[in-house]
Structure 1
Amino acid sequence: MTSIYFVRHAQPDHGWEDDITRPLSDAGLEDSKKVTKLFRDYKIDCYISSPYKRSVDTIRESSAEKGLPIHEDERFRERKSGVGGNNMEMFHKRWSDLNFCEDGGESLSMVQKRNIEAILEVLNTHKDKNIVIGTHGTALSTILNYFTPSYNCNDFLRIIDFMPYIIRLDFNGTTLVGKEELLIIKKEFKGKK
C-alpha cells in the first residue's frame, strides 16, 4: 500500500501580493511546527511540494528532521487566479462547471489534470512508500474530487479555512482504498467575500 499525506499549507501572509513567494504568517510558521510534530510518529520516505514558498515552508522543518530533501513539482502549484477569482460566486461557478474559468485564470479541470498526472507518476515511482506532498486548498480539492467524484463545492468550502490541513490517502496501485484526516487547524481564508 502507498500512502500520500497531503499537507495543505499553513496560514500565509495575506498582505503579501506575489502568490508564488507569499510567506507564512507568524501564526502559520507556528502552526507548521504542529505538522512537524505529527510526522514524528510516521515513517516518511519522500517529501514533494508545490514550489510556492508557503507550501515548502509548511513541510520544511519536518523534512529536515527526517533528513530528506523536498522535491518541488510545478504541477502541484496553486490554481492560477484570474480577474476577480477568489469570491463565493466564482467558487460556486467553478465547481458547478469544472471547465469554467475567469479571465486569465485556470479552470478546475486544468488544475486537476496536471495534479492527477503528477499523483499517478508519484504512485508509480514510489510504490508502497509513505509520501508527504505540500499543496494548496484548490489543488488538493481537485485531487479529492478525482478520486471521490462526489467531492464538491461544499467540501471545498469546508476546508477553505483549514490551514494547515493534513489528509492521508491510501492506494493499492492507483486505486484509492482509504483516507483519513489527520490535522485540522482553522484559520480564516481572507479571499472569500
Structure 2
Amino acid sequence: MNTIIYLVRHGDSPKEGNERTRELTEKGYRDAERVAEVLKEENVDVVASSPYRRSVLTVEKVAKKLHKEVVIIEGLKERIFSPEGTRLSDKELAPLLERSFLDPNFSLKGGESNNECQKRAVKVVKGLINIYEGKKIVIGSHGAVMTLIMNHFDPRCDLQFLNNTTKPDIYKLTLHHDELMDVERLWESV
C-alpha cells in the first residue's frame, strides 16, 4: 500500500523578520491560491505543516478547500540556522548552506546541522507514514528541511536540487512503507 506525501515549499515571504512569524508577500498569497488549485483534485486525507506562519498560510487554503484542519507539527520547522530566530540574508545563507552540504555536521553556534535537522524531520515524516499509511498527506515546508527530507529517501536531492526549487514548490513523493517509489514535481512557475 503506497502513501503519498506532497511536500509544499512555502510561498514568497518578506525578506526581513522573525523566522516563525513572517507571513507571505502579495505574490505568496496569490501562489497559495494556486497551490490549493493544484492539490484540490488529489483527494488529500491530511494537511500538516511546519509551525512557521508562511508555511501554514501556504497550505491553509488547501485544507479549507478539503474541509480539513492544518495539523501543526513543531518537528517540521525549517532548519535552525541561527539561535536568534531572525532570517539570515541570502548573502549569509548561501555559504552556510554550501558548507553544510559538504559537512552535514556543520552548524553555527546555537544552530542546527543538516544531520540534526534531517533526523528531526524524517522522524516526523516516518511517524506520519505509520499513522496514515496508504493515505495522501500534504506537508507545508521550507526549502532546506524539504530538501533534507527528500535527501533521506533520494541522495540526489542535494544543494543543487535546493537551489533549483522555487517559492512555492510542490513535490509528490510516492512511498511504499518508507521506500521511495517515485517523485514528481507538480508546481509550474509562471
Instruction: State the TM-score, normalizing by the size of structure 2.
Output: 0.92
Task: Determine the structure 1 residue equivalent to 2:15.
Answer: 14
Q: 1:95 aligns with which of 94, 97, 101?
A: 101
| Superposition map of 1:111-190 within 5 A | 111-159=117-165, 162-185=166-189
Using the aligned pairs only, state the percent identity.
28
Distance in 1 between the 2:74 and 2:154 partners?
24
Say how many residue pairs are matched. Answer: 183
Distance in 2 between the 1:79 and 1:185 partners?
25
**Gapped regions of structure 1 (runs ≥ 5):** 187-193
CA shift for structure 1 position 60: 0.7
After superposition, what is the alpha-carbon deviation per residue over 1:69-121, rounded to whole angstroms, capped at 9, x for unaligned?
Answer: 11010000011122868432211100001100112211011110011100110
Distance in 2 between the 1:78 and 1:102 partners?
15
Deviates more, 1:87-96 or 1:48-57: 87-96
Task: Determine the structure 1 residue equivalent to 2:42.
Answer: 42
> Following TM superposition, where does structure 1 have runs of at least 4 consecutive aligned residues deviating by more than 4 angstroms?
none
Task: Determine the structure 1 residue equivalent to 2:111.
Answer: 105
Contact 1:163–1:184 (8 Å) recurs in 2 = no
Distance in 2 between the 1:56 and 1:150 partners?
27
**Gapped regions of structure 2 (runs ≥ 5):** none
Contact 1:8–1:134 (8 Å) recurs in 2 = yes
Task: Determine the structure 2 residue equivalent to 1:32.
Answer: 32
Distance in 2 between the 1:87 and 1:132 partners?
27
CA shift for structure 1 position 13: 1.6
Distance in 1 between the 2:8 and 2:93 partners?
23
Task: Determine the structure 2 residue equivalent to 1:77.
Answer: 77
Specify the code of the residue in structure 2 equivalent to 1:173: H
Distance in 1 between the 2:43 and 2:104 partners?
36
Distance in 2 between the 1:125 and 1:173 partners?
11
CA shift for structure 1 position 39: 1.3
Contact 1:164–1:184 (8 Å) recurs in 2 = no
CA shift for structure 1 position 68: 0.5
Specify the code of the residue in structure 2 equivalent to 1:7: V
Distance in 1 between the 2:189 and 2:142 partners?
14
1:64 aligns with 2:70: no
Give me the CA root mean square deviation: 1.5
SS of 1:170's partner is strand
CA shift for structure 1 position 41: 1.6
Instruction: State the TM-score, normalizing by the size of structure 1.
Output: 0.90
Distance in 1 between the 2:188 and 2:169 partners?
5
